[in-house]
Amino acid sequence: MAADCELCDSAGGETLWQDQLCRVVLVEDRDYAGFCRVILNRHVSEMTDLDAATRQRLMRVVFAAEQALRDLMHPAKINLASLGNRVAHLHWHVIPRFADDKHFPDSIWSGARRPGAARRVDPAALKRALHKLLQAVAK
C-alpha cells in the first residue's frame, strides 16, 4: 500500500474477477462501455519490478480480458495501455474500440472527433466470460 494511491485505496471500478495477484475491474465510462482495468493488488510501478513468472501471469489476465471483450463486443480494435503517469500503480487499460467511438482512430485521451455511438456491455456476461477464461490462471 502506498499513501495517496487511488488504486491501493479503492477497487478502481466494479470488480469482475480477482485473485491474490490482481483484479479485473469494469470502469464506469459512459463513452467506453467495456473499458476494463487489470490492476496489480500490490503497489508496484513498473512491469520490470515483477519477476518473469509474475509478469507472465499478469499478462495472461490482460489477454483474457481482451479476449472476453472481443467475444462479447466484437470491437474494431482493442487498445492495451499501461501508462501510470497519473497513478503510478501498475495497471493495464483494456479498451474496446469502435470506428464510430468519440476518439477513433486516436487514443481515448485525445480530443474528441465526433459525439460517439452509445454502447452497453452486460457486466454479468463479461464476468462469466472472464471467470471461464481465467480458471487456469487462478491455480
Nearest of 60, 65, 11 to residue 39 by alpha carbon = 11
Distance CA 112, CA 96 (A): 16
Give 1-29 pLDDT, tens digit per residue. Answer: 677 889 998 899 999 999 999 999 999 99
Q: CATH number of the domain at 55, please.
A: 3.30.428.10
Q: Does residue 93 lie in a domain region?
A: yes
State pTM to two decimals: 0.93
Q: Does residue 139 lie in a domain region?
A: no
Distance CA 34, CA 64 (A): 13
Q: Does residue 12 lie in a domain region?
A: yes
Give 45-84 pLDDT, tens digit per residue. Answer: 999 999 999 999 999 999 999 999 999 999 999 999 999 8
The domain in which residue 113 lies consists of 6-133
Q: Does residue 124 lie in a domain region?
A: yes
Q: Does residue 83 lie in a domain region?
A: yes
Q: Does residue 20 lie in a domain region?
A: yes
